[in-house]
Amino acid sequence: MKATLSRRQRVALSGLGLVVFFGGWEAAVRTGLLPSGMVPAPSSLWQAWLDEVHSGFWQQAILDSLSHYALGLLFGSVLGALIGLLCGMVPVLDAFLAGVVHLLRPVPGLAWVPFAILWFGLNTSGATFVIAISVFWINFYAAYAAVRSVDPELYELASAFGHGSFLGRLFKVVLPASAPGVMAGLRTGLGQGWMSVVAAELFGVPGIGARMMQASSLLATDVVVVYMLTMALLYAVTDFLFGFVRLRVLRWQA
């Protein structure tokens, strides 16, 4: 029988794992196992962060990244989930878009950066576009798969109670039944959006990614790591807040 851990034990072990990770990292740098010029010691990160905060770079980078992250996440998530739901419900539309989906899906978000520059210029709109593209496909496939997995008998039951129309099936069957899958896609998109921020800011749009590129060009690896940890923290916060939204949307499952 597989042993189970309580929530407190999991939190304690998770904290211990972080202590071991950062402790081993610090020891590796101090003993010369890792070159200090290429890899910063964790003990140096606090001062690097304070310098960024006192100069105002850290706060401004977060605000800049949040602006196009939020817009890209909104557009990519809404459009991806909406089109995924429609393709899952309407076989004709699914067949019509199948070729386009298979053509564009393998193209990574980074490949759209040149077009973002040409179409939108070096501004927030271009970064928003790249992030939206990256988030779109996650939500599209999550919504599509969720709709396709709906029990066909539910449609028959809805029709028997007078909800056989498209809107009736959408609101009485598809949305409630596919909500867990759609919410899973939205949650995955939160992380993908932050992963796309660096790619979206490679061409000079202000933000966390741009600040990381500036620091790396100066070999300020401690500053680079500070912003890496900042992105991890921001993802943790957004994921935590999304958990409350998910609980509210899916409260009927209880």
In order of 77, 92, 107, 156, 238, the CA distances from 81 in angstroms are: 6, 18, 19, 24, 19
Cα-based angle 2, 3, 8 (whole degrees, multiple of 5)? 145
128-165 tens-digit pLDDT:
898 999 899 999 999 999 888 877 777 777 777 776 77
CA–CA gap between residue 121 and residue 219 (Å, rounded) = 28
CA–CA gap between residue 140 and residue 80 (Å, rounded) = 4
Q: Is residue 103 pLDDT above 60, yes or no?
A: yes
- Using CA atoms of 197, 217, 110, 129 in order, give the dihedral in degrees to the nearest 10: 40
Q: Tell me whether residue 215 is in a domain.
A: yes
Radius of gyration of the chain (CA): 22
Q: Tell me whether residue 188 is in a domain.
A: yes
User: pLDDT at position 3, please?
Assistant: 62
CA–CA gap between residue 214 and residue 131 (Å, rounded) = 21
Q: Tell me whether residue 44 is in a domain.
A: no
40-69 tens-digit pLDDT:
888 889 999 999 999 999 999 999 999 889
What is the average pLDDT across 163-189?
81
Mean of all residue pLDDT scores within the chain: 86
Cα-based angle 155, 248, 11 (whole degrees, multiple of 5)? 120
pTM for the model: 0.83
Cβ atoms of residues 246 and 187 within 8 Å? yes
Range of the domain at 180: 63-253
CATH number for 234: 1.10.3720.10
For the chain, what percent of residues have pLDDT higher than 90?
28
Q: Tell me whether residue 210 is in a domain.
A: yes
Q: Tell me whether residue 86 is in a domain.
A: yes
**Is residue 121 classed as helix, strand or coil in its secondary structure?**
coil
CA–CA gap between residue 254 and residue 238 (Å, rounded) = 24
Q: Is residue 33 pLDDT above 90, yes or no?
A: no
Q: Tell me whether residue 8 is in a domain.
A: no
68-99 tens-digit pLDDT:
899 999 999 999 999 999 998 888 998 999 89
User: pLDDT at position 109, please?
Assistant: 78
Query: In the chain, how many domains are there?
Result: 1
Q: Is residue 1 pLDDT above 50, yes or no?
A: no
User: pLDDT at position 60, please?
Assistant: 93
Structure tokens at 189: 């998109």
Q: Tell me whether residue 56 is in a domain.
A: no
What is the average pLDDT across 215-228?
88
Q: How confident is the model at residue 122 (pLDDT cuts 50, 70, 90)?
A: confident
Q: Tell me whether residue 105 is in a domain.
A: yes
